[in-house]
């Protein structure tokens, strides 16, 4: 069994890049007959030859393949190029600043071996930064139908923890959509769900680094992002909902996305109870007809989002933090 690890990069912090490579050097690859690491330099202005040379020595006998792009083409183009060059049975996706846990690759490959119907498997993430010692744990839904429902609201798989069954992926013909900005992983996962099962393992597989250079760090104060809004609209269309600005506004502000990433909550606070009720009824009634996602799971999610919003509003204070025991 062969493994390909695909890593696009463009001007990452040298220390972060080195730490990412060091994590790969000490990972467990005992299950694999061959491992290739495909590094796609997406037009970096900095020189990373020293870091890559050091990694090549430390990571022997891994095969290191460096693809140099003469100019920046974007992360989706670079990732597509790396995946097309991959020869492994499985393709592990990787970012240039995150750190895979040593057992990530073996556990993911074992899961895919046992579940040949799964086109992509992921896991949870330990979130960290250089300014605090403690780590938080970001959890994702485990089963296919739960993931598909949650994909209505946010990307329910962590790209830095994903491993793809290459044969199923090639048969699907799916690639990353270019110029999708921070939503390219979400778009990919939704389209892959039409060609195989999605799964998360329910355990942390990667240490996810938060820092100020991330695109997601720049969206505070926005109503999400044009590509995120586009995915919400496409998903609601698939559901059969009648799209209008009010419905899209409620969906965007009630989605876990704004609780997870956005700090501008004033518009969520300003929503009307009648509009929230209309949104819930539209989602549930139209999905009952289209059967786009699981009815009982969607009903559970809608109830929880409504319950959280009403309780939050009843607190009388928009800075109130929502906590739940279950």
What the block records as the tokens of 21 is 């490579």
pLDDT of 263 over the 70 cut: no
Backbone phi, then psi, for 76, in 5-degree steps? -70, -45
pLDDT of res. 214: 53
pLDDT of 221 over the 70 cut: no
**All CATH 3.90.550.10 domain ranges in the chain, comma separated:** 2-216
Q: Could you tell me whether strands 90-93 and 118-129 are parallel, antiparallel, or unpaired per DSSP bridges?
A: unpaired
pLDDT of 192 over the 80 cut: yes
pLDDT of res. 91: 98
- Predicted TM-score (pTM) of this structure: 0.92
Under the banding of pLDDT at 50, 70 and 90, the label for residue 111 is very high
The strand ranges marked E within 231-284 are: none
pLDDT of 107 over the 80 cut: yes
The contacts of residue 201 (CB under 8 Å, 6+ apart) are 107, 108, 111, 121, 122, 123, 124, 142
Average pLDDT over residues 2-30: 96
Contact 3, 109 (CB under 8 A): yes
pLDDT of res. 261: 43
For residues 83 and 86, what is the distance between their CA atoms, to the nearest angstrom?
Answer: 5
Bigger pLDDT: 227 vs 105:
105
Average pLDDT over residues 310-319: 90
| Residue 265 neighbours by CB distance under 10 Å | 14
Bigger pLDDT: 49 vs 224:
49
Short-list 24, 275, 256, CA closest to 152: 256
pLDDT per residue as tens digits for the range 114-123: 999 999 999 9
pLDDT of 217 over the 90 cut: no
For residues 213 and 110, what is the distance between their CA atoms, to the nearest angstrom?
Answer: 34
What the block records as the tokens of 306 is 């409504």
| Residue 235 neighbours by CB distance under 10 Å | 19
With 0-12 / 13-18 / 19 or more C-beta atoms within 10 angstroms meaning exposed / middle / buried, residue 298 is buried
pLDDT of 212 over the 80 cut: no
Average pLDDT over residues 112-137: 89
pLDDT of res. 220: 44
pLDDT per residue as tens digits for the range 57-95: 998 889 999 999 999 999 999 999 999 999 999 999 999
Angle at 154 between CA 151 and CA 156, to 5 degrees: 60
The widest CA-to-CA distance across the chain, in whole angstroms, is 63
User: Collapsing DSSP states into helix, strand and coil, what is residue 175?
Assistant: coil
pLDDT per residue as tens digits for the range 146-161: 999 999 999 999 999 9
What the block records as the tokens of 135 is 């780590």
The strand ranges marked E within the chain are: 2-9, 34-42, 63-69, 90-93, 99-100, 118-129, 132-138, 163-165, 197-209
Contact 86, 6 (CB under 8 A): yes
pLDDT of res. 61: 86
Short-list 270, 159, 269, 164, CA closest to 215: 159
Tell me the CATH class for 2-216: alpha beta
* Mean pLDDT of all residues belonging to the chain: 91
Among 187-191, 204-208, 256-260, the range scoring the smallest mean pLDDT is 256-260
């Amino acid at each position: 069994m062969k493994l390909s690890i695909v890593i696009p990069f463009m001007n990452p912090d040298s220390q972060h890049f080195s730490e990412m490579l060091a994590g790969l050097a000490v990972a467990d690859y005992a299950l694999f007959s061959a491992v290739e690491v495909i590094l796609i330099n997406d037009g970096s202005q900095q020189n990373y030859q020293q870091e890559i040379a050091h990694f090549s020595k430390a990571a022997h006998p891994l095969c290191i393949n460096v693809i140099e792009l003469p100019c920046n083409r974007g992360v989706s183009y670079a990732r597509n190029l790396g995946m097309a060059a991959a020869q492994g049975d499985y393709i592990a996706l990787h970012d240039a600043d995150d750190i895979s846990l040593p057992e990530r690759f073996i556990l993911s490959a074992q899961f895919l071996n046992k579940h040949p119907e799964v086109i992509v498997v992921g896991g949870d993430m330990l979130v960290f930064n250089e300014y605090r010692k403690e780590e938080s744990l970001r959890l994702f839904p485990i089963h296919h139908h739960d993931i598909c429902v949650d994909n209505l609201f946010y990307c329910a798989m962590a790209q830095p923890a994903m491993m793809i069954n290459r044969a199923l992926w090639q048969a699907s013909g799916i690639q990353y959509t270019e110029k999708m900005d921070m939503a390219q992983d979400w778009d990919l996962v939704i389209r892959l769900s039409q060609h195989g099962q999605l799964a998360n393992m329910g355990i942390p597989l990667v240490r996810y680094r938060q820092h100020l250079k991330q695109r997601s760090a720049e969206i505070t104060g926005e109503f999400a992002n044009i590509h995120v809004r586009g995915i919400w609209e496409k998903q609601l269309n698939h559901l059969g909902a009648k799209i209008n600005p009010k419905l899209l506004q409620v969906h965007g502000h009630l989605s876990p996305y704004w609780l997870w990433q956005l700090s501008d909550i004033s518009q969520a606070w300003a929503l009307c109870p009648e509009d929230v009720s209309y949104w819930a009824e539209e989602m549930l009634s139209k999905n009952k007809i289209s059967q786009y996602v699981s009815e009982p799971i969607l009903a559970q999610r809608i109830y929880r989002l409504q319950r959280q919003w009403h309780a939050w509003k009843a607190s009388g204070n928009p800075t109130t933090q929502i906590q739940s025991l279950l």
